[in-house]
Amino acid sequence: MNTPFRFKLQLAPFFPYLHSILTPSFPRCLWRGNLSQPEIALTFDDGPHPEYTLELLKVLDQFQITASFFWLGQWVEQYPEIAQAVYQRGHWIGLHGYQHQSFPFLSEIELKQSLEKTQTAIFKACHLEPELILDVRPPNGFFLPQTLELLTAWGYRPVMWSVVPEDWLHPGVNVVTQRVIKQTQNGSIIVLHDGYFGGKDVAKTVQEIIPKLLEQNYRFVTISKFWQSAKPMI
């Protein structure tokens, strides 16, 4: 199994401030939805996983929530039936690279191949045409201006986040839930993980988060809906 680089530091308290700095600096990325609408997007990175993703799907089914999944191509190839189960439920599908490698560490050719290889894996598993899989979330949230230039030149749409509870560090379901509830506002893009890192508690976490956010009258939408109201990329 590929062992990806991960943040080990506890940075959760700083992400809201970092988000406010990065958002205007990189308008080519989708950082959030419409602030005037009580709509939020629940997104999941690093899957599909044969256990964690299936547990997660049961919770999403229970509340009839449609989410967005950013997949690693290597796991789509290994677990195509799990990928198909996600897609058949109408969840939105995006790319997270073939392996969990930070994009700035890849050459231009390697990055392009990583994305195209993942698109091909998704097509084989779900019969979703590659030209319809355009949303890309960089692993670890790492990118450079050159990374964005390449992604947009190739026709991809960079997707980031506004609520990052650091579930991959396993701080516990209660801590992750509290962070999400505290930070969520209109247009929030919440990032959780259903892969090998962070996925162990994802179903329990979502079971706690969804009803609390519904009580606050938020509506769950996909990343596709957020793009519809986004300003054109510069």
Digit-coded pLDDT (tens) for 27-75 = 678 999 999 999 999 999 999 999 999 999 999 999 999 999 999 999 9
Q: What's residue 16's pLDDT?
A: 61
Please list the residues that pair with 130 across neighbouring strands.
none
9 assigned to some structural domain = no
Catalytic one of 46, 49, 193, 194 = 193
5 assigned to some structural domain = no
- Examine the residue annotation and report whether 100 is marked as an active-site residue of this protein: no
Q: What's residue 53's pLDDT?
A: 98
Q: What's residue 21's pLDDT?
A: 55
Q: Is the pLDDT of residue 98 over 90?
A: yes
CATH of the domain at 158: 3.20.20.370
Query: What is the rounded CA–CA span in Å between residue 65 and residue 69?
Result: 13
Q: Is the pLDDT of residue 87 over 50?
A: yes
Q: What's residue 12's pLDDT?
A: 52
Q: What's residue 166's pLDDT?
A: 93
34 assigned to some structural domain = yes
User: Tokens 């379901």 identify what position?
Assistant: 173
Instruction: Band the pLDDT of 15: cuts 50, 70, 90.
Output: low
Name the average pLDDT for the chain: 90
Q: What's residue 3's pLDDT?
A: 43
Query: What is the rounded CA–CA span in Å between residue 220 and residue 227?
Result: 14
Q: What's residue 41's pLDDT?
A: 98
Q: Domain of 45? A: 16-228
Catalytic one of 45, 46, 167, 201 = 45
- Examine the residue annotation and report whether 96 is marked as an active-site residue of this protein: no
Q: Is the pLDDT of residue 91 over 80?
A: yes
188 assigned to some structural domain = yes
3 assigned to some structural domain = no
Q: What's residue 204's pLDDT?
A: 98
Number of structural domains (the chain) is 1
pTM of the model: 0.90
Residues 6 or more apart whose Cβ sits within 8 Å of residue 48: 69, 71, 75, 76, 79, 82, 83, 86, 194, 195
Instruction: Band the pLDDT of 222: cuts 50, 70, 90.
Output: very high
164 assigned to some structural domain = yes
10 assigned to some structural domain = no
4 assigned to some structural domain = no
